[in-house]
């Protein structure tokens, strides 16, 4: 078996003062934080489509990255080499999980039956690697966006034949995910949306989307898949409007269609900002509803209006993200680097630099969030800010013991110029900076 990363050392923790760019300064996998090893809090995953498949093409440019595992002319040889590459890369990096779409790992055949056979061969190759490796599957998914038959959607296609193709593809992808012991399965509705309402039966499409998801959830139960089924919100791109717009849309959709207990959420940072929210907002909304299952860890560029899928290096963001994760009691799955190196970062070593930077950024985030929680600074502030709901009229409101008439009576003879205490935003922002600046 060809070794693709033989020129690189195993990446290890060397501490903040190390000058070695191929080492972790903060990610110390076995270090225990709040009673759990860092690696178990974070459960990092390498995304197959970006790290292994991406060759740096964009709408204006040809491939620019020489990836030795892509050089094989025989498609099956290439598929096996890509699997060899992901295992070798994860092992070098000390990342224990990866994620994939069915079509990332295996090409499509001339009929779905043939596609399934090809996929099975590649899955057997993955299983072989898993026998001697620590590397596991975080989650699997099906690519329902690339093939021309999905140009107008998959489960929300105007054509019932396409619905059937998509169902068959997801059925197989779920079987394969189960076979590989995936912790979850992701549904991302990339083309489940519309370009114009003029040609769209929105009511039928939404109902069909719900029917599709119900069938998927029933099939998961039928085959005994124990992983978490997740929907990944994204507001737009490739379509103008996507039905799984953001956490709130998706959770509302699940409620309306009786799917609440069947799905949780996989939140991606870049999709949050595309929806006009912060990453923390999406995590918070998922978390307070008990629906935060996994994270696609990346970041966007606020000056660009599309999904740039950059490696997450902003420690302010990773700290607030890990705060939500800890408050949620951890993730069912983990942190998947749905991120790609920039087109001009075409060396193999850039793949290492990118992942190392991102892993360190989340390790810092974890440390900061753990200290914030231990010290209870934000909790204490919130307790104080909302204290009027713990007694008196506030308690009556919260416990449903008072109505409009009672509330009118309560305020009628109070001075009109009432004003609550200051929100102290700048004070809190400085507190966060203090924690960031004192991380070790």
Residue 92 contact among Ca ion, ligand XLS, none, beta carbon within 5 to 8 Å by kind: none
Q: What does the alpha-carbon distance between residue 305 and residue 190 come to, in Å, rounded to a whole number?
A: 17
Instruction: List contacts with ligand XLS (CB under 6 A).
Output: 101, 141, 186, 188, 232, 234, 268, 296, 307, 338
> 10 Å Cβ neighbour count for 44?
26
Output 96 or 338, the one with its CB closest to Ca ion.
338
Stretch that binds Ca ion, among 20-28, 33-41, 76-84, 261-269 (CB under 5 A): 261-269
- Alpha carbons 261 and 105: distance in angstroms, whole number: 31
Q: Out of 104, 307, 338, 360, which one is annotated catalytic?
A: 104
Residue 50 touches which member of Ca ion, ligand XLS, none, C-beta under 5-8 Å by kind: none
Q: Taking Cα atoms as reference points, which of 12, 79, 1, 94 lies closest to residue 46? A: 94
CB of 384 to ligand XLS, least distance (A): 39
Known catalytic membership, residue 257: no
Q: Which is nearer to ligand XLS, 155 or 326 (CB)?
A: 155
Which pair of tokens denotes residue 393?
Answer: 């009229």
Q: What residues have CB less than 8 Å from 240, skipping those under 6 apart?
A: 193, 194, 195, 196
Q: Is 338 in the site for Ca ion (CB under 5 A)?
A: yes
Q: Can residue 307 be called a binding residue for Ca ion (CB under 5 A)?
A: yes
Active-site residue identified among 50, 101, 271, 355: 101
Query: Can you tell me the distance from the alpha carbon of 143 to that of 102, in angstroms, rounded to the nearest whole number?
Result: 6
The answer to whether 78 and 120 are in contact (CB under 8 A) is: no
CB of 283 to ligand XLS, least distance (A): 16
Q: Is 101 labeled as catalytic in the residue annotation?
A: yes
Half-sphere exposure (Cβ direction) of 400: Cα atoms closer than 13 Å: 0
Q: How far is CA 314 from the centre of its chain?
A: 16
Q: How far is the CB of 230 from Ca ion (least distance, A)?
A: 10
Closer by beta carbon to ligand XLS, 332 or else 338: 338
Q: Among 88, 192, 282, 296, which residue sits at the site for Ca ion (rule: CB under 5 A)?
A: 296
With CA atoms as reference, report the closest residue to 296 among 62, 129, 47, 123: 47
Q: How far is the CB of 60 from Ca ion (least distance, A)?
A: 19
The residues of the shown chain that bind Ca ion, judged by CB under 5 A, are: 268, 270, 296, 307, 309, 338
- Give the catalytic positions in this structure: 101, 104
């Amino acid at each position: 078996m060809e070794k693709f990363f033989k020129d690189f050392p195993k990446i290890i923790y060397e501490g903040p003062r190390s000058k070695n760019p191929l080492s972790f300064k903060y990610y110390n996998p076995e270090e225990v934080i709040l009673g759990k090893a860092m690696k178990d809090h974070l459960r990092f995953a390498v995304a197959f489509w970006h790290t292994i498949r991406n060759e740096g093409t964009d709408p204006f440019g040809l491939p620019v990255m020489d990836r030795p595992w892509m050089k094989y002319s025989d498609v099956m040889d290439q598929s096996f080499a890509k699997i060899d590459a992901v295992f070798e890369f994860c092992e070098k990096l000390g990342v224990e999980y990866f994620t994939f779409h069915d079509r990332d790992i295996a090409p499509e055949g001339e009929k779905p039956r043939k596609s399934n056979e090809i996929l099975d061969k590649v899955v057997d190759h993955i299983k072989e690697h898993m026998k001697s490796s620590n590397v596991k599957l975080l989650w699997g998914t099906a690519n329902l966006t690339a093939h021309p038959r999905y140009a107008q959607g998959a489960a929300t296609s105007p054509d019932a034949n396409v619905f059937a193709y998509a169902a068959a593809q997801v059925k197989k992808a779920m079987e394969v995910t189960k076979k590989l012991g995936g912790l979850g399965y992701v549904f991302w509705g990339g083309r489940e949306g519309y370009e114009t309402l003029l040609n769209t039966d929105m009511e039928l499409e939404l109902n069909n989307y719900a029917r599709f998801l119900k069938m998927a959830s029933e099939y998961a139960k039928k085959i005994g898949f124990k992983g978490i089924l997740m929907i990944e919100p994204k507001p737009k791109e490739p379509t103008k409007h996507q039905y799984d717009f953001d956490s709130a849309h998706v959770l509302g959709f699940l409620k309306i269609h009786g799917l609440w207990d069947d799905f949780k959420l996989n939140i991606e940072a870049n999709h949050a900002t595309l929806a006009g929210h912060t990453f923390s907002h999406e995590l918070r909304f998922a978390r307070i509803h008990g629906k935060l299952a996994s994270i696609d860890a990346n970041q966007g560029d606020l000056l660009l209006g599309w999904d740039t899928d950059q490696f997450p290096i902003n420690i302010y963001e990773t700290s607030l993200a890990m705060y939500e994760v800890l408050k949620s009691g951890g993730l069912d799955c983990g942190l998947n680097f749905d991120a790609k190196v920039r087109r001009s970062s075409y060396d193999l070593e850039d793949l290492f630099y990118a992942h190392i930077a991102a892993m360190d950024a989340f390790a810092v985030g974890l440390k900061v969030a753990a200290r914030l929680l231990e010290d209870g600074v934000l909790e204490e502030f919130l307790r104080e800010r909302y204290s009027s709901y713990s007694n008196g009229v506030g308690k009556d409101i919260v416990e449903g013991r008072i109505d409009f008439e009672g509330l009118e009576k309560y305020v009628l003879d109070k001075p009109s110029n009432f004003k609550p205490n200051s929100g102290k935003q700048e004070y809190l922002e400085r507190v966060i900076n203090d924690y960031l600046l004192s991380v070790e």
